[in-house]
Structure 1
Amino acid sequence: MYFEGSEKKAEIIIDSEQMSLLKDIDDSFWATLVEQCHAKILSTISNQTCKAFLLSESSLFVWADRIVILTCGVTKLVNSVEYFIAQIGQAKIKQVIYQRKNEYFSHEQLSCFGDDIKLLSQYVEGKALRFGELDSHHTYVFHQDNDFTASSTDKTYELLAYQISSQASIALTTPNLSAQEIRSFLAIDELLDGFIIDDFVFQPFGYSLNAIKDNDYLTIHVTPQESSSYVSFESNLNLLAMAPKILAILSPASFDILTFNEADFHGLTLKHIPSDYVSQSLVQSELTNGYQVAFANFIKPQTSYSQAKIIDINGENHAL
């Protein structure tokens, strides 16, 4: 059994002087937007500045001036972005950023990054970049190329862990796990003191969490199957500072970090990334919209031989 945990992500910023996405848009709009990419809303939490929707495939966050949406599996997130642009109107939109990372099973996807940006280019003029090596871990970023300039305080962090340890995979695939048991394993109370939390345990495996506190947010998505394990963290909290705790729990064979506007990316990685991980790829670029983007892929070098994986040649072969 496998599931494509790797997310596609979009952030769309609007002119909040023309409208408020929190006050002027009702939940039926967001339900329809999510349906465009073949997902659905499972539950919602909110405070005075943010509304967070837990989805059947990842998460949607809404503030007055922007949305952040992530979807996994074989969803077509670009369809939801197209719907947003068509319904809200290009005149109200200040910036569109669309990301897509390398997938485990790219041949199962309904489109590729090239297809997606061809569609988006019909609505916004933009530029596309690849962070990371093509034959290794990498992330594509498409962004609108206009007169928008991001604030230096507008920071986001992504930590994407691959091939979590056997112990972590076993702990997260134990039958009949409760949400509280998964929270305890991931030390959520230590990471997210004072946050409103919404989470869901999928059957037979999988876990998603949204957390909000004032303007801050964090979302976690867990695909624990050992054959394709993947755990993602996305937040405007400093995930580099949280990395030692996260890596100690999951002990992944490799992980990616992607940041927007973290000026001390190099210093923070030196300070917080454990010494048993080494960097495979380091990329840093300033986008024309003002975001300073940094990407790093880290691996834990093997010190001993492992056994080859035995494949059931009489079983399902679509994942090969």
Structure 2
Amino acid sequence: MAATGFEGFEKRLELRFYGDDPLATTTQYSSSPLGLRQILDFDSLVQVLNAVQCTVVSAVGNRYFDAYVLSESSLFVYPTKIIIKTCGTTQLLKSIRPLIQLATSSHDQDLSLCALRYTRGSFIFPESQPSPHTSFADEVDYINRHLPPSLRRRKAAVMPSNLTSHSWHVFTATTDQAPHLIGPGLESFYTVEVCMTELDRAQARNFFQPPGKGRNGDVAGKEMTKLTGISEINPGSIICDFGFDPCGYSMNGIDQERYSTIHVTPEDGYSYASFECVGSAFDDDVDDLVEVLRKVVRVFGPGVVSVSTTGATREVWAQLGRAMEGMKRRSFAVDEFPAAGTVVFQTFTAGRRK
């Protein structure tokens, strides 16, 4: 807990790996499909998360990946990809060195880091962040010092908006060969990251536990999922949820090889909720994603929304505004990043905002 309130905005880190012989990558993982899932056993993950200062509170997995709900947000482990996002005053970037060491030191899996992506919004309480998260410049310097020299193509940028409280910070790094080494089909997936503030107070109260009930986090999480309508956002997904005491909520959804995740800080004055999911260039209709985001906005009733898409086509990010019913687009920014592709950052405000 920060001195002035809990920091809802997450820091997000994604690491991608490939086999030492890029031409053998497909064969390698068809014969050994676990990859990082085998290397990063639970004890290893606990060590990494201790450095970050968070813990695992719940977990679920399928044939494609493992999803962990953390005391501060989420962790996803695929055979060749790790995604970890944490909120509060966690020190997310301290996971870089141990994750790389664990992933590349296995004698059974010959893996090398080929790409890194770090993203975050603007902190509500930046003065409460510990090193190396005291500024974006400090974060970039820390990442640069802990990356192998093979990731030579690097770029850092702050994507602005017309709202001083919302900007998007992006750092990417990759090898020269990364676009060809990430793996068949993986490059077709894009990421959608939604950050919402000024939540509707009545809807935010659904993420508080009633005093004296004494429910554990798993039971509270399931009740919140059903009560708020989160269960209907993607009814085909398997949901792993957790309700915190006295308030707060986290959820991971898994749907075959795709994940979605929601995190909520509902307190008045600094309420915040996030939603993240992945889509595919092979999806038949972007209307499905628009409808998902429309449901998300209805669940939380935010006053301000930012939407960042990474690697999406023009058709995708151009249509996302349709999900923001009753909201006005305030800003639009676009930039290109090595091995991440096009990043588009948009902000929206509700009609009730003055």
- Who is 1:117 aligned against? 140
Residues of 2 paired with 1:96 and 1:217: CA distance? 19
CA contact (8 A) 2:57 2:71 kept: yes
Is 2:166 the counterpart of 1:137?
Answer: yes
SS across alignment from 1:184: helix
- Who is 1:316 aligned against? none
| Structure 1 residue 207 displacement after superposition | 0.6
Is 2:318 the counterpart of 1:267?
Answer: yes
Is 2:13 the counterpart of 1:10?
Answer: yes
CA contact (8 A) 1:100 1:113 kept: no
Residues of 1 paired with 2:43 and 2:193: CA distance? 29
Residues of 1 paired with 2:192 and 2:43: CA distance? 29
Deviates more, 1:229-238 or 1:38-47: 229-238
With over 3 angstroms needed to count, the CA separation of the structure-2 counterparts of 1:115 and 1:218, relative to structure 1, is same
Residues of 2 paired with 1:180 and 1:257: CA distance? 27
1:259-314 CA-to-partner distances (Å, cap 9, x unmatched) read: 1122123431243321x21112101122122521111010114377xxxxxxxxxx
With over 3 angstroms needed to count, the CA separation of the structure-2 counterparts of 1:279 and 1:33, relative to structure 1, is same
With over 3 angstroms needed to count, the CA separation of the structure-2 counterparts of 1:271 and 1:68, relative to structure 1, is same
SS across alignment from 1:137: coil
| Structure 1 residue 181 displacement after superposition | 2.7
Residues of 1 paired with 2:164 and 2:231: CA distance? 37
Q: CA RMSD in A?
A: 2.3
* Structure showing the higher helix proportion among its residues: 2
CA contact (8 A) 2:309 2:317 kept: no
- Who is 2:248 aligned against? 206
- Who is 1:104 aligned against? 124
| 2:143 maps to amino acid | L
- Indicate which of 226, 236, 243 corresponds to 2:293: 243
| Structure 1 residue 234 displacement after superposition | 1.1
SS across alignment from 1:208: strand
Is 2:93 the counterpart of 1:51?
Answer: no
| Structure 1 residue 34 displacement after superposition | 1.3
- Who is 2:45 aligned against? 30
| 1:173 maps to amino acid | F
CA contact (8 A) 1:7 1:100 kept: yes
- Who is 1:312 aligned against? none
Q: Which runs of 4+ in 1 moved over 6 A?
A: none
- Indicate which of 346, 350, 353 corresponds to 1:296: 346
CA contact (8 A) 1:14 1:65 kept: yes
SS across alignment from 1:79: helix
- Who is 1:62 aligned against? 77
CA contact (8 A) 1:265 1:294 kept: no
- Who is 2:282 aligned against? none
SS across alignment from 1:221: strand
User: Which segments of 5 or more consecutive residues in structure 2 lack a partner in the other structure?
Assistant: 20-24, 30-34, 106-110, 280-287
- Indicate which of 100, 103, 109 corresponds to 1:88: 103
CA contact (8 A) 1:157 1:239 kept: no
CA contact (8 A) 1:60 1:69 kept: yes
| Structure 1 residue 196 displacement after superposition | 2.1
Residues of 2 paired with 1:200 and 1:290: CA distance? 31
CA contact (8 A) 2:208 2:245 kept: no
CA contact (8 A) 2:124 2:165 kept: no
Q: How many residues align?
A: 303
Deviates more, 1:146-155 or 1:281-290: 146-155
- Who is 1:255 aligned against? 305
- Who is 2:284 aligned against? none
Residues of 2 paired with 1:121 and 1:243: CA distance? 34
